[in-house]
Structure 1
Amino acid sequence: MGRVRASLDVLTERPVSLYATAVLRIGYGSLYLLFLLREFPHRDEIWGPGSPWTPELARQLFDQTGWFSILTLSDNRAYFEACYALAVVASALFALGWRTRAVSVLFAVVVASFHARAIFMTDGGDNLMLLMSLYLVPTACGRRWSMDARRTGLRAGAGAAAGRAAGVFPPHLRASRRTLTAVLHNCALFVIAAQVCFLYGSAGLYKVQGGSWGSGTALHYVLHLDLFRPWPALSLMADEHEVVIAIACYLTVLLQVAFPFVLFGRLKYPFLAMLSGIHLGIAVLMGLPLFSGAMIIADAVFLPDRFYRALGRLGRRAARSAARQSRHFTSTTLSR
């Protein structure tokens, strides 16, 4: 009962892993922004009125599936361009953490709308991006490394934030608001972690059932698929190392199946590092940067806040050292 009470206290008293959710916010906002900018020359063929999958066909599909997209509300090209500009701005603001509560809802609507508009052109990266954009809405992902956090810190330093909050909300409402925020954040964080575990576990179990993964030849066939071979020469060069290919097959299955069982110990750190290496290989060899980036960002949820605080201190020291070296170089140059 003591452990249950302690768990309930953690669930209801304060949001946990605020730095991890901040990394998810920055990562997915930036990734989707880069995705939209990359596809800017092809936006009309993918999502616009000039797409082979016309807005009318999309609306007919939505009538059957229940999906919704703001892009199908009008066939006007100016309206589409405005929606595209809104998506770019929403992704940038979400990554920066400006008015995160409201912008997170807007970002989720944007991702869901673009996903539904071109549903037959999506892959695993788009699906994960959609899920994470929805999961991040109830989280307090704007409390760290954001414009909101900076503004709150400035107000708290001036003594204005506490006085304003005290004047607007009675004490019992403030306590209820804090509890509700903590519960929603922690439950959403648990769902995100469970989703990633389910992805890895199910992928590993499906691979175990395949004969090509058991024989260590699955990656050999993958490297010869023209659809997933952006650099054929590089794929052929990698395929020449048969032993390495077989080891990579077995290691991939092992990491994915065992991943949910190593999260509560230090063994998760080498697992996360190796999984990041696998995703980087997928991005380069198979030409799936969106999927790889989405998975690497999702893995960040399992790193504790002390890791990110140490990373922040290391970054600040590196910045100060670079600034000192720059000033020293400038003074030396001027003296000469």
Structure 2
Amino acid sequence: MQEAEQTSVAVVTPRRPGHGAERASAQAPQQRQARIATLLTLLLEQPISLYAAAVLRMGYGFLYLVFLLREFPHRDEIWGPGSPWTPELARQLFDQTGWASILTLSDSRAYFEVCYTAAVVTSALLTLGWRTRAVSVLFAVVVASFHARAIYMLDGGDNLIVLMALYLVVTACGRRWSLDARRTRLRASAGKTARLPRDQARGELRRHLREARLTVITVLHNCGMLVIAAQVCFLYGSAGLYKVQGATWGDGTALHYALNLDVFRPWPELSAMADRHDVLIAIVCYLTVLVQVAFPFVLFGRLKYPVLTMLLGMHVGIAVFLGLPLFSGAMIVADAVFLPDRFYRYLGQLSRRVVPWADVREARTRTPADAALVPPQSGPAV
């Protein structure tokens, strides 16, 4: 009897060959659909790296403000009517390149002074985050205009700032650490809410329009942050691959020649002291090439943190030894896009301990519009 039962069980419950493979193949479409749904949710509903966008806004606004103030005594020779690169020469170049500049609309010195003052004010307002949507557009126009006006007069350090200024226009860079965020927080704490119309149809239409607007803002912001990250990766990767092709980088002598060029020696004694360490210069050359080539491939692991630290040291060295502070500052700010939001939240809490009046607790007084745009858990860094 027992043998018969065992035989029947053996007949009823055999495992068919490939049964596990069939289950895996059946679950594969479901997993793909789940991943696509998660990606769409992240793209359409969850803004990523809001704190990083705020750092980019403050960094580039402050950097360009300092740049304009530093060049204030030389503004006429660089951008004004008294420049060797005259407005007429600039307009002839624009006909060939397709660029444009508000500085060439008039040759009047008074007009130029007004434009320069407006550029300084715009940079300061962007740094503070006042009416960020409109000011970011003005900042992009200012940076592009000043860059195009004196494209042969500067050292090229503002090239990256031009690109980042254009990308920041589509990001929600004013939702954190800005006067706009503070104003929104104060309105929410005061209980000021939008008054809905009495007609139900109009109320539904208004609600749908508000949801569509928030979705568009989120999509533009996420795409803008991803483009910024891709731009930085492309910059480092192409720079590293270009260095690989050079013989001086291959034998570790590239920095030796750079330190002995008069145009890149702001402090000749310091450059001469660094040039005495041949082995150290060769190591720095090889590390520079290795870090730049490997940068796009280490962004999705913890290895990116030591790489970002080495890049920070590299840019500080470029600013000090080669006299390119604008370029180094632009690159340091661009690298900030790869740091997670939890790092910036920690910095906000630390600043609140140091400066008691610095209120960073935006989550407790979130407005309905901000709550619809920002989920309880902050999005991952780019």
Give the TM-score category using the shorter length: over 0.9
Match of 1:287 among 323, 327, 333: 323
* Larger mean Cα displacement after TM superposition, 38-47 or 259-268: 259-268
Matched, 1:101 2:133: yes
Q: How far apart are the structure 2 equivalents of 1:314 and 1:72?
A: 46
Matched, 1:91 2:158: no
Match of 2:99 among 42, 46, 67: 67
Q: Secondary structure at the match of 2:111?
A: helix
Assess if the C-alpha contact under 8 Å between 1:14 and 1:178 holds in 2: no
Q: How far apart are the structure 1 equivalents of 2:71 and 2:83?
A: 13
Deviation at 1:161, TM superposition (A): 4.0
- Name the structure 2 match of 1:240: 276
- Name the structure 1 match of 2:80: 48
Assess if the C-alpha contact under 8 Å between 1:14 and 1:179 holds in 2: no
Q: How far apart are the structure 2 equivalents of 1:245 and 1:58?
A: 41
Over alpha carbons, which structure has the higher Rg?
Answer: 2
Q: How far apart are the structure 1 equivalents of 2:312 and 2:205?
A: 45
> Where in structure 2 are the equivalents of 1:52-201 lying within 5 Å?
52-163=84-195, 170-201=206-237
Q: Mark the runs of 5 or more structure 2 residues left unpaired by the alignment.
A: 1-32, 357-382
Q: How far apart are the structure 1 equivalents of 2:306 and 2:147?
A: 33
Matched, 1:224 2:256: no
Q: Mark the runs of 5 or more structure 1 residues left unpaired by the alignment.
A: 321-336
Deviation at 1:168, TM superposition (A): 11
Kindly indicate which of the two structures has a greater share of residues assigned to helix: 1
Q: Deviations over 1:48-97 (max 9, x none)?
A: 00000111111111111111100000000000000000000000000100
Deviation at 1:16, TM superposition (A): 1.0
Deviation at 1:274, TM superposition (A): 0.8
Q: Secondary structure at the match of 1:75?
A: coil
Alignment RMSD (CA, Å): 1.7
Q: How far apart are the structure 2 equivalents of 1:129 and 1:83?
A: 19
- Name the structure 1 match of 2:5: none
Q: Deviations over 1:232-265 (max 9, x none)?
A: 1100000111111011001101110000011111
Q: How far apart are the structure 1 equivalents of 2:94 and 2:278?
A: 47
How does the TM-score come out when normalised to structure 2?
0.82
Q: Secondary structure at the match of 2:96?
A: helix
Structure 1's 44 and 3: CA in aligned 2 closer, same or farther, altered over 3 A?
same
Q: Deviations over 1:205-226 (max 9, x none)?
A: 0111111111111101110011
Q: Deviations over 1:113-139 (max 9, x none)?
A: 000000112344211000000000000
Deviation at 1:11, TM superposition (A): 0.3
Structure 1's 53 and 197: CA in aligned 2 closer, same or farther, altered over 3 A?
same
Q: How far apart are the structure 2 equivalents of 1:266 and 1:254?
A: 17
Identity of aligned residues (%): 76
1:301 counterpart letter in structure 2: V
- Name the structure 2 match of 1:20: 52
Matched, 1:277 2:326: no
Deviation at 1:162, TM superposition (A): 4.5
- Name the structure 2 match of 1:317: 353
Structure 1's 280 and 161: CA in aligned 2 closer, same or farther, altered over 3 A?
farther
Assess if the C-alpha contact under 8 Å between 1:48 and 1:77 holds in 2: yes
Assess if the C-alpha contact under 8 Å between 1:21 and 1:140 holds in 2: yes
Structure 1's 50 and 209: CA in aligned 2 closer, same or farther, altered over 3 A?
same
Structure 1's 212 and 288: CA in aligned 2 closer, same or farther, altered over 3 A?
same
Q: How far apart are the structure 2 equivalents of 1:168 and 1:80?
A: 49
Deviation at 1:4, TM superposition (A): 1.5
1:108 counterpart letter in structure 2: A
Q: How far apart are the structure 1 equivalents of 2:223 and 2:311?
A: 25
How does the TM-score come out when normalised to structure 1?
0.93
Structure 1's 277 and 164: CA in aligned 2 closer, same or farther, altered over 3 A?
farther
Q: How far apart are the structure 1 equivalents of 2:135 and 2:193?
A: 21
Q: Secondary structure at the match of 1:25?
A: helix
Q: How far apart are the structure 1 equivalents of 2:204 and 2:193?
A: 11
Q: Secondary structure at the match of 1:160?
A: coil
Structure 1's 21 and 264: CA in aligned 2 closer, same or farther, altered over 3 A?
same
Deviation at 1:311, TM superposition (A): 1.1
Deviation at 1:312, TM superposition (A): 1.1
Q: How far apart are the structure 2 equivalents of 1:258 and 1:148?
A: 38
Q: Deviations over 1:18-68 (max 9, x none)?
A: 000000000000000000000000000000000001111111111111111
2:120 counterpart letter in structure 1: V
Structure 1's 212 and 159: CA in aligned 2 closer, same or farther, altered over 3 A?
same
Q: How far apart are the structure 2 equivalents of 1:261 and 1:163?
A: 50
Q: How many residues of Structure 1 are paired with residues of Structure 2 in the alignment?
A: 321
